[in-house]
Structure 1
């Protein structure tokens, strides 16, 4: 992780004092209990200060609240997501959009290394990398080993359109649903998809 990643992690671990206005935070956070809300708001304010997207953090906190998770668990989940967003930005570059960072954080949680995000960014060129990251994450969620999923998506990333990536994911999911081993399904389908993929358009 580069220096900026350490700065994000340090900032998120050391919650600084915050103003009364900041403590009010996003009105959606009123769902949190009185003890948890200021901690989460401080984490979100810190993330905002270092230029990270905050909506995923709010949504993660609300998800925990809806599930009835303890306040400490919610705060830990928000802190970890903010750290993942920071790592994703290090890997994808400062110009990455909020949705790309969110997708990158999900891919990191699925087991992809930061180098995979960087390679996908380079392979996609000026095109958004969101769909490639989402497909990678979805494949792992369906049981495809991370190395196999990474190889498959990297194989397609340079030439495939987003539509091609979606078609590839759906084909793999169909094969898995009828009993194909996840790794075999991805390996077989990527060869067919690579032949059919047309050069990507901006």
Structure 2
């Protein structure tokens, strides 16, 4: 039964008509990566989309294959850090955070201190680094706010840091000042209202 399910998954990936846009050699190599990802329990759609993005941009086949393989590895790293229950958006945000400079341990720590979904927290971390904040400073800030902050709080924090940077503040200093102010506000507000208990993902 298990073997039959795996064979079906492989056939679905191999028969995806969207990959017909690739040349035969590139298509075969991309399909092999997608098949391996499926068998490992990783989402195939981000890999297919990465290949199609490369085709749309006219990238040569070897570059497309390299990009798809790299994404597959990064998705695996993100899944190992965030747990088997991580959603596709969480995994993709995790990949963005990793590529911005966050370590797998940072992702694992975030998973341990914040209730899911983690998509926004991971995205804010990556956005802060893109704004010039050092990766370690961005990670410390997000981890400090993550236990109590709502997604909207994290977005406002990111916007405040970006405004300060635009006004000339050093990125690391802007982040430190804003995270301290944000933590004070969250602590004064007390714990968030109790909600239905959610099982912690492995």
The residue number in structure 2 matching 1:78 is 68
Give 1 or 2 for the bigger CA radius of gyration.
Answer: 2
Q: Distance in 1 between matches of 2:12 and 2:43?
A: 19
1:35 aligned counterpart, secondary structure: helix
Distance 2:83 2:12 in 1: 31
State the superposition RMSD in angstroms: 1.9
Contact preservation (8 Å) 2:13, 2:34: no
C-alpha displacement of 1:138: 0.7
Match of 1:115 among 94, 105, 117: 105
After the TM superposition, which of the residue ranges 159-168 and 94-103 deviates more from structure 2?
94-103
Pairing of 1:158-177 with structure 2 (within 5 A): 158-177=147-166
* Superposed displacement of residue 22, structure 1: 4.5
1:193 to 182, 186, 194: 182
Q: SS at the partner of 1:65?
A: helix
Give per-residue Cα distances to partners, 1:92-136, cap 9 Å, x unaligned: 111111111111111111111111011000110x33111111111
Q: How many residues align structurally?
A: 183
Unaligned ranges ≥5, structure 1? 1-17
Equivalent in 140, 163, 182 of residue 151 of structure 1 = 140
Please, which moves more after superposition, 134-143 or 55-64? 55-64
Secondary structure of the residue that 2:31 maps to in structure 1? helix
Cα distance change of structure 1 residues 54 and 23 upon mapping to structure 2, 3 Å threshold = closer
Residue of structure 2 in register with 1:136 after alignment: 125
Task: Write the distance in 1 (CA, Å) between the matches of 2:93 and 2:80.
Answer: 14
- Tell me, in whole angstroms, the C-alpha distance in 1 between the residues paired with 2:20 and 2:89: 25
Aligned partners of 1:22, 1:44: CA distance in 2, in Å? 7
Aligned equivalent of 1:181, options 158, 166, 170: 170
